[in-house]
Structure 1
Amino acid sequence: MKQLYILAFLFTTSFTFAQLAPPTELQAYYSGVDFTKTGTELYDDLAVKTIAKHTLFLTYGERHQFLYDADEDPSNSSNVRLIYSGESRSKTEYLSGSNPNSPQTFNTEHVYPRSLLGDGTAEADLHLLRTCDISVNSLRGNDPFSDGSSTPNQAYFSTGSSFFPGWDWRGDVARIIMYVNLRYNEPFTDVGTLNLFLEWNAADPVSPQEIEDNRNTVISGVQGNRNPFIDNPFLATLIWGGTQAENRWGENPPDDTEAPTIPTNLMASNETSASVDLNWTASTDDIGVTAYNIFVDNVFYVSTNSSATNITVTGLSSETTYEFAVLARDLANNTSALSTSVNATTLEANTGGGSCAFETFENIPDNNSSYSDRTWTGDDNSSAQWQATRARTDQSINSRAITIDVRDMSDGSITSPLLSNGIGSLTVTTQRAFSGGSGTLDVSVNEVFVGTIPYGSDVQTSTISDINFNGNVQILISKNSSSGDRVIIDDLSWTCFPSLSVGDEVLKRVKIYPNPTKDLVKIDLTQNIETRIEIYDILGKRILTTEIKESTSLNVSSLKHGLYLIRFTQKDKSETKRLIIQ
């Protein structure tokens, strides 16, 4: 709340002002959070911290013991300060059948409406509860928040379908909603818009020694965690961009009106039936480039959410020519003009359910019988190179093939370039070269072992199923722990595995709780629809799969401590949420 009226995941950058760091009294709490990060990386760090620090889960009835101390009127320790109206009332006036006092004039407001919360522990989370006049609480109802900053008297009001909290309270509301999104992954769209809350967060800073700081102190003393956006509203700017908020931990960056330079040398490559890789030369800026926006056919399509100068544009239609362009943006949301555009045409869709990519080794170096390191351009003719160690190029199976030496002290291997669109299953043809026995080769994806492929005197084709890594992947075929032979490898192919995508509103309402958990997690479906559940570790490896038709509980006690992703799929729609195992 601001008594004196002092008047989006986006980026990774460096700043020209002092390094962001919590004050001494908060450094122990925020230990492990890397404040050099921005965008989704900082969001994830803060989410893990905020969830892990939440160690005491109150029942809703227990809120009375702590909420009134949290909302204490700074001018009168016997009173609470009510949200929206700003009135000061005696702490004894709370509405409850067990309260012997009269009158009873205020109750508990769920700033993020209770009916919209999916996690069962959230309803009693003190960070989203505020004391409120009974009639004002009724006026607000469950309506979303809307802009009303132009109202003449600067007070709260209801339109009948939306609610403006008043000038004094819009920042408090924004920081509570951001906390709920961070802690429980609840959407902004149910209660307003992210842009609106970013504006409020900046326009109504935290007032020193006022209710918000007191709430953070009292609540963290009870349930263990803090609202990081009260500790420093600028964290929201670093994560989502938008209107620059106050930096309570140091200097704000200087006003910036200079736009970044235009990105150059935009190139398209690695076309598939549904994706195209783009890369370009970085723009420059006086403060720093924070993100690049990608335009497809002159319409904004996606942001890099970082200063990276490459991206795989997915979700495209097959056999379609697209026009791509890119612009740069900086911390102050200044944007460059669009780059010179490039065209690319996606490939024919794979309709047979077979491979989406392959490597035939037809482009390996000229025949040579010596064992040496080899590099070559793959069948997709991209600039990225395949690599082989202790390899010869003069043997064949169906046509040209690569032979690696994995005998005794030899460590022959094949390494793919970074491949987009993930990997579902891998198929490869092998045969032992020359004399020897039979055995297996190890296969790893993104440095994670996924299976073995056999070889022997006869030609054999083998498949490793259910690898199921999404995103960019790298395949390694190498020697296992036992002695081996000289092995010919040919006709490598793999099926793609789709990226985690955003689903429709039904899926967005799927809830998981408690979160974090140690053993059981409740999956709450809003509708009884057949739902596929997949849990991935942070490397993208799928480690659990099941199907449900109604709300149920999953036993996750076998999972190691850490952060996981749960993907829910209903027909052709999917939604992903975070899960923390304690």
Structure 2
Amino acid sequence: MKKIILFSVFAGLANAQAPAGYYNSANGLSGAALKTELSTIITNGHQDKGYNGLWTGYKTTDIDKNYENDGSILDIYSEKPVGADPYNYTPGTNQCGTYSTEGNCYNREHIVPQSLFNQSSPMVSDIHFIRATDGKVNGMRSNYPFGQVGSATFTSKNGSKLGNSTSSGYSGTVFEPIDEFKGDVARMIFYFVTRYQSKLSSFSSGNMLGSSTFPGLQTWELNVLLAWNNQDPVSQAEINRNNASYTYQGNRNPFIDNPSYVNLIWGSQQPSNDTQAPTTATGLAVSGKTSNSISLGWNASSDNVGVSSYAVYMNGSLNTTVNSTTATISGLTPSTTYTFYVVAKDAAGNSSANSSTVSGTTNAGSTNPSTDCVNETFETIPASSASYSTRTWSNGGISWTATDARTDQTVNNKAITIRSGSLTSGNSGNGIGSLTVTTQLKFSGSNGNLDVKVNGTTVGSIPYSATATTTTINNIDVSGNVTVSLVNGSASNRIAIDDLKWTCYPGGTARKAQTAALETKVQNFKISPNPITNQEIFVNGDVQHIKKAEIYNVQGKVMQTVNQPFKNGNSIKTQNLGQGIYILKLDNTTMQFLVK
């Protein structure tokens, strides 16, 4: 969490940290000539400390002195500028090693992949572009170039993403750091193509590097990095790292010392000068429906700099804004038809034309007879208070606990507001059928979702935004004693919760019929083990002829689609599914599985 923002945006930053006269020979130059002179300056004095020397260097170069200021490793793939970090690493203690999930250990991330220069020295150990980062995220980033992600296939715990490119000029897979560190990444790559410009012709491009000394980058990647450099100016954390790297290695990153060098060499790509709108989104279609939600998907738009978001309109009015090519609109009325279109936007505020309009009709509501088991209106919560603490109360025979909660906000009269915490019920003895709740984002923040857990297992999610929204999750159907939790995974968003209720478990008839149907359909296939482990589904049976596999959550949203899923074996690798119940559809066969 960033305690004090210390961006250095003033033009007079030039040579503020460098020794007197360090850049004198570059004065008055521009373009390729300036790049060549800077290459000479930062090559002189460069001491190669070896690949293992990076571990020692990180103890001074990659220490968090500007966010938590706690002496932990400053990892650009896990640092959260606002809110608590998902995990922290102790320098020297948590080095990789091996890893399987985020938070296991940190290792050495080459911002320019080492495979592009065949792990050769001195590039392989140059601390100016090799960061201490989480091993798992480093592995997911692999050797992909940096760019604007459309639909993410992987998202780290601080929001860094891997997915398809929406950057103009490149349609492959790219990696996108969070906004806080986009400029950092750009300036590290600018350093690399300047320091090693004479070697670029012998390097592989990796769809990012150019083969000549100037400009040194492929056009599409250069445009991305110029935009990121302008979007995210030099920070105090970068200045600190540059100074420590100079002490360790003997040379400097000139684009941190003097940010104006970027535009003097490559020209400006200021978002404010961007007047080109993104292309119109195509292929908008309804991808899933429940009685209270409709899921949409569309093809990514393109832009000369990059698409930053998509605005989703329902019945002619703005409903939500997303940064991927999918959206789920919740809180709808059963058996009702809605119309949708989307508009692509870029960072400069340019908007595309409206996409084509599609219609979707929600499913009919459940006909199972059921009654409300729990109906919490929050009218008996503790006295109004703006401070955050653990709050407890009882109502209608159910006890409640809200952590990191305040009691002074309202939705439909009194409401409980949680920040980085959860709302949890005591035991309810008659199970749960469907759950309904009203949510609203208070103060500031961004749209998101609350995780809904029954007896500790995630069964769905509840969206929230600045508009009070009522959402129902149908067919949860857990019998016996249940404890229900709504969990806020954001450390900054403050979510008011009101009018929470759920129906009793609807009884055996519907469940038995559903189970019988499933057993009929899956007689030739079996998922084993179930619950699945290590994000991999193993299916027993004659699966080689299966043409398509689809994974749905319990709300009917498509989570993953794989064509010819079993061409290399009898398992499917899943994409970071959270705890809960899911449906695997193999052509026309469906099976349930659990993730714990």
TM-score normalised per structure 1: 0.36
Greater Rg by CA: 1
